[in-house]
Amino acid sequence: MSAVRHWVGGFIIVAGTATVAPRVMAQQEGATPDSVPLAARVDELEQQILVLKRLRELEADSIAAAAKDKSTVTASGKDGFSIKSADGKYVLKLRGYAQADGRFFGGDDSKAVPNTLFLRRARPILEATVGKYFGFRIMPDFAQGQTVLFDAYGDVNLTPAFAVRLGKFKPPVGLERLQSATDVVFAERGLPTNLVPNRDIGFQLGGDIHGGVLSYAVGVFNGVPDLGNGDGDLNDSKDLDARVFLQPITKGSLKGLGIGIAGTTGTEQGGLSGTTLSSGLPAYRSPGQQTVFRYRTDVAVPLNSVLANGRRSRLVPQGYFYSGPFGIQSEYAVSRQEVRLGPSAAELTHTAWQASGSFFLTGEKAGFRSPTPKKVFDPSQKGFGALELVARYGELDVDDDAFPTFASPTSAITKEKSAGVGLNWYLNKQIKVAVNYEHTAFDGGAADGDRKAEDFFVTRFQHSF
Amino acid sequence: MLLALSIGAAPAVAQGGGKPVTLLNVSYDPTRELYQDFNQQFARYWKEKTGQDVTVRQSHGGSGKQARAVIDGLGADVVTLALAYDIDQIAEKGELLPANWQSRLPDNSSPYTSTIVLLTRKGNPKGIKDWGDLGKPGVSVITPNPKTSGGARWNFLAAWAWALRQSGGNEQTAKEFVTRLYRNVPVLDAGARGSTTTFVERGIGDVLIAWENEALLAMKELGPGKFEIVAPSISILAEPPVAVVDRVAGKHGTKAVAQAYLEYLYTDAGQEIAAKHFYRPRNAAIAAKYRAQFPELNLVTVNDVFGGWAKAQAQFFADGAVFDQIYQPGR
């Protein structure tokens, strides 16, 4: 199409210059200027001017039409870099984010955990829209000296209410897990996230009904342990994951209310894969990302380790409420797993919950996604970005029946309680600086009783585009 | 009879209303006013018959360009173009409708006809009487580009047919004549409406080779009293065709209403609207009613003189064909 327009534009110019000139010459052949009446010569010149003006007009039209048909390349803070076809049906986006942390542990007299500066996440994102219905996303992570594929999936978006997703992605379970790592209000997600899957491979049907009043998703996945990021399955059985989320009030002061429930069910069997033990069981972390609970493992004799041994199920009620600058978010997670160690077997039930609150000192609207600052950071324009105060409390409770058979009471905690506060500074849509402090107390987990409390102080610089 | 039955049956398909529907009619340059009127009339008719609201969006441009756009993905539910070859291209290259599309509606799917006439300025200062005058030195001729405009292709073929019919006329003399004619063209617009703008509004040229409907529109509405129509001794019967673009309409779920839309062009109401906009109606009674506004012309057809559009396209307008040979810049 654009080639035709270019051709037309060029043709018009060449044609015009090629035809006006011969006409003048034809008029002049056999006629001296003096023999042509003055009025006729004026008319002739006037025609030439009109023709040249029209040619310029057509050239401008042709250029404008060609520009309209051209693919566009854009770079914007919100959507990263993108290349879009003229009809908008094909879009390739390059986005990404990086998070650089400073992590400090107070009261750690034994220096068991080093204070450190490190790259928490470094994730380029390639997204594409392919025609009207199709799209894909690929997101690896290159942080912490390793490469891990987090997202690699394709979408078939038939209607807003019915879409299919296939590949590796976040299963529809944990509320905070479903929130982007760039949007969570604390540097690290809270304790319930320990009990839900991180990434899994499968396919999912989902969509928004009535503009998002009801969102649903149901999918079949390989199945991964709590907090797991899986690339395969340990057995033939598959997990069924599902979530419904309601935002029932579309007007008024309760418009920002959302409640939902998610669950999973499946069967997991741990065992040896070659010489490698795959227990099919999780380990749980503290807010400072220290492993505080793990099942018994025998490195010398792998089969003397605790293994997943049957039904695994989860139930996760969840909700949030946003009103003006205020926001609260909460979820409760129950994770059940049948385990065995030699002849001993049990069904263990672990629970966790948390509630977090946020408040924008600078008046921005709180929400599930990061805010757009009212004034981006620009001192010359008296703009300093958005400031957000955050606080949370959460608990994680490991089934008492796990001890002492399946987990060692001297190295695995049975309970953790965590309280934290923080300040987020959004300089603009792309850059965020965060400071968090979180105190976590533990029951059990040490030879002399309780694991020493964790005082975790983290600073984060985040750049996303 | 079949047409009447199908028009009667179409509403039954959508009886009871249903959600509003939108059609896109991709058409050629000078049909803007025709379809603005027709769309309103059809929307009223369809609402009365079915209870369903229909909105028809219009897209206009050079017929060849419009066909290319549809092939490239412009979502036309129906096309109403200047010549059958352009819809053949949509069928062949876009595979958006069957090759036999022209047999699906009466009169080769052309609900109205037109022809090509000459429009001069008031008083006809250059004394233009027929095609031959357009090749004379000092006559400035306005016509669009046959590469992009369906109307321009009709213009070219009409001029060629005239040259062939002259005493001693043959392919060579016809080629020499159109070469002289196109040397007198200072501006090649992309479409017929663009050429009308060049001639009528920009005041360029001594004569406009125009669709009859476009010339009558210019005479009566764009510049009353400023122009004269010269009926050439010979011209060409132009049959602008219409068709449902099956694959697009099927995808949009608009096939029934798109079919009814085109069939409505053949009804008395549709034929009246066509005639009011200076297109020659197919319906004999309505044609008789409007006979006075159309000059008597000796018309030839593309099939008779050129062996059909496929042959004409290959001989004259394909890359490297006659038009490219005669319109070399600088000659």
Higher pLDDT, B316 or B73: B316
- Residues of B with CB below 8 A from A11's CB? 145, 147, 188
Distance CA B156, CA B211 (A): 12
Find the mean pLDDT for residues B179-183: 94
Burial (0-12, 13-18, 19+ Cβ within 10 Å), A6: middle
- Answer whether B319 touches A (CB < 8 Å): no
In sequence order, what E strands does A85-199 have?
Answer: 90-106, 116-130, 134-141, 148-159, 162-169
B127 touches chain A (CB under 8 A): no
Strands of B97-218, DSSP E: 112-113, 116-121, 141-142, 207-211
B214-218 CB contacts, 8 Å cutoff, 24+ apart? B214/B30, B214/B151, B214/B278, B215/B117, B215/B118, B215/B119, B216/B278, B216/B293, B217/B30, B217/B33, B217/B277, B217/B278, B218/B119
- Supply the CATH number for residue A419's domain: 2.40.160.10
Using CA atoms, how far apart are residues A198 and A174, in angstroms rounded to an integer?
Answer: 9
pLDDT at A298: 87
Q: Looking at the complex, does the CB of residue A78 fall below 8 Å from at least one CB of chain B?
A: no
Per residue in B122-167, pLDDT (tens digit) is 999 999 999 999 999 999 999 999 988 888 999 999 999 999 999 9
Residue at A300 is within a domain: yes
Q: B247 CB near a chain A CB, below 8 Å?
A: no
DSSP A236-263: S--EEEEEEEE----SSTTTTEEEEEEE
- 3-state percent helix, strand, coil for chain B, nearest multiple of 5: 50, 15, 35
The reply to whether residue B65 touches residue A16, judged by beta carbons under 8 angstroms, is no
Residue A44 φ/ψ region, left for φ over 0, alpha for ψ in the -120 to 50 degree band, beta for the rest: alpha
In angstroms, the CA A360 to CA A425 distance is: 10
Nearest residue of chain A to residue B330 (CA atoms)? A18
Using pLDDT thresholds of 50, 70 and 90, give the confidence band for residue B184: very high
Q: For the segment B22-47, what is each residue's pLDDT rounded down to a tens digit?
A: 999 999 988 999 999 999 999 999 99
- DSSP E strand boundaries for chain B: 21-28, 54-61, 78-80, 112-113, 116-121, 141-142, 207-211, 227-230, 235-236, 242-244, 280-281, 299-300
Interface contact A87, partner B, CB < 8 A: yes
Mean per-residue pLDDT over chain B, rounded = 89
Q: Within a domain: residue A315?
A: yes
Question: B2-13 and B255-264 helices cross at what angle (nearest 10)?
Answer: 140
Is the N-terminal amide bond of A37 cis, ω within 30° of 0? no
Residue A139 lies in a domain: no
Say whether A14 and B204 touch across the interface (CB within 8 A).
no
What stretch of H or E contains A345? strand A344-360
Please tell me if residue A22 touches chain B, with a CB cutoff of 8 Å.
yes
Taking CA–CA distances from B71, the nearest residue in chain A reads A1
The one-letter code for the residue type at A42 is V
A71 and chain B: CB distance < 8 Å anywhere?
A: no
Q: With beta carbons less than 8 A apart as the criterion, state whether B53 and B20 touch.
A: yes
pLDDT tier at B17, thresholds 50, 70, 90: low
Contacts of residue A252, Cβ cutoff 8 Å, sequence gap at least 6: none
Scan for tokens 């030839």, then name that residue: B300
pLDDT of residue B7 exceeding 60, the answer is no
Residues of A whose CB is below 8 A from B148: 4, 8
Helices (H), A318-379: none
Q: Does a structural domain hold residue A302?
A: yes
- Report the distance separating Cα A403 and Cα A169, nearest Å: 34
Q: Is position A437 within any domain?
A: yes
Domain identity same for A187 and A335: yes
CB atoms near residue A397 (< 10 Å):
18
Confidence (pLDDT) at A48: 86
A130 touches chain B (CB under 8 A): no
Mark out the alpha helices in A88-200 (DSSP H runs): 175-178
Domain count, chain A: 2
Is A199 found in the same domain as A65? no
Residue A50 to chain B, least CA–CA distance (Å)? 6
φ, ψ dihedrals at A252, nearest 5°: 90, -170
- Residues linked to residue A389 through DSSP beta bridges, in sequence order: A359, A423
Of B84, B95, B147, B67, which Cα lies nearest the Cα of B301?
A: B84
Supply the range of the domain harboring residue A433: 101-106+182-464
A159 lies in a domain? no
Q: Assess contact for A423 and A388: CB atoms under 8 A.
A: yes
A304 occurs within a structural domain: yes
The DSSP secondary-structure symbol of B220 reads I
Helices (H) and strands (E) in chain B, counts: 16, 12
Any domain includes A86:
no
pLDDT computed for residue A78 by the predictor: 58
CB contact (8 A) between residue A50 and residue B204? yes
Least CB-CB distance to A50: which of B145, B203, B327?
Answer: B203
For chain A, which ranges sit under pLDDT 70?
1-36, 67-79, 87
- CB distance A434 to A99 below 8 Å: no
Query: Whole-model pTM?
Result: 0.59
Q: Are residues A275 and A397 in the same domain?
A: yes
Q: What is the pLDDT of residues B255-275, one digit of tens each?
A: 999 999 999 999 999 999 999
Q: Which of B138, B145, B330 sits opposite A8 (nearest CB)?
A: B145
Percent of chain B with pLDDT over 90: 74
Task: Give the pLDDT of residue A79.
Answer: 64
What are B248's two structure tokens? 């697009």
